[in-house]
Amino acid sequence: MNAAELTGRARTHVTEVAGLQATMHRDVVAAFTNLTRAAAAGGFAVFAVSAFRDFDRQLAIWNGKYSGERTTLDAGGRAVDLGPLAPEARIEAILRWSALPGASRHHWGTDLDLADRNALGAGQRVSLTREEYAPGGPFAALSAWLDEHAANFGFFRPYRGVKSAVQAEPWHFSFAPLAEFARGRLTEGVLREALAAAPLLGRESVFARLPEYHAHFVAAIDPP
């Protein structure tokens, strides 16, 4: 992947997969197809709630949270009022759950948020909360199945609440053979260049501590 692909400013590495209703890296399609087929044999209808996300979409998410137009959650998953917070505290609150534009693993097309369509009731939507994947939640059985089988297809959870400063996301799976390569190439310098001309809210405070944010929220993950 080149710098534009790594930071979500190009789509030359991804493809629309009609049968899977998702856009992902072209070299992830076969592995994810095999995972969904194996899961189907176990009674699960696995689908990607979110797959590839471009820079502009991530920028809209970031600016929406920074401005207060979108909800930001605290470490316990509760809505937090960012209004009284200083810029640095506001940025760190957002980074617990949402990446800087240019730094999202979803830019690579290697990362997927997974759920089980068979576990959804009529009209029910996926919220991507930890409670949904915990014992008693609608996706608890799928989560247990993925614990046992995801690695067989090259997928792992990069955010498990151990090494990364990002909160644990039991729904988030990454295709290790490509994602680990991309993580190594997405340096702080590449990210800085991608953000240089972006209308990023909080940009002065972000740039002042970008090496730290990159180290804690981009480079550090819970490895395969």
Mean pLDDT of 177-181: 96
pLDDT of residue 161: 87
pLDDT in tens, 83-98: 788 899 889 999 998 9
Q: Do the strands 172-175 and 155-156 form a parallel or antiparallel pair, or are they unpaired? A: antiparallel
Instruction: Enumerate domains of the chain plus CATH numbers.
Output: 3-219 (3.30.1380.10)
pLDDT of residue 176: 97
The conformation of residue 75, written as its DSSP 8-state character, comes to: T
Mean pLDDT of 4-9: 97
* Spatial CB neighbours of 78, under 8 Å, sequence gap ≥ 6: none
pLDDT of residue 19: 79
| Contact status, residue 170 vs residue 152, Cβ threshold 8 Å | no
* In the chain, % of residues over pLDDT 90: 80
Cα angle 59, 116, 166 (rounded to 5 degrees) comes to 40
Residue 161: is it exposed, middle or buried by C-beta count within 10 angstroms (0-12/13-18/19+)?
middle
CA dist list (Å): 172 to 58, 110, 206:
16, 11, 25
User: Does the pLDDT at position 74 exceed 80?
Assistant: no
Strands annotated E in the chain: 14-17, 22-25, 46-50, 72-73, 79-80, 111-116, 155-156, 172-175
SS3 letters for 169-192? CCCEEEEHHHHHHHHHHCCHHHHH
Cα 66 from Cα 104, distance rounded (Å): 16
The gap between the terminal CA atoms of the chain, to the nearest Å, is 20
Mean pLDDT of 161-178: 94
Task: State pTM to two decimals.
Answer: 0.93
pLDDT in tens, 182-218: 999 999 999 999 999 999 999 999 999 999 999 999 9
pLDDT in tens, 124-149: 899 999 999 999 999 999 999 999 99
pLDDT in tens, 21-44: 899 999 999 999 999 999 999 999
Strands annotated E in 68-206: 72-73, 79-80, 111-116, 155-156, 172-175
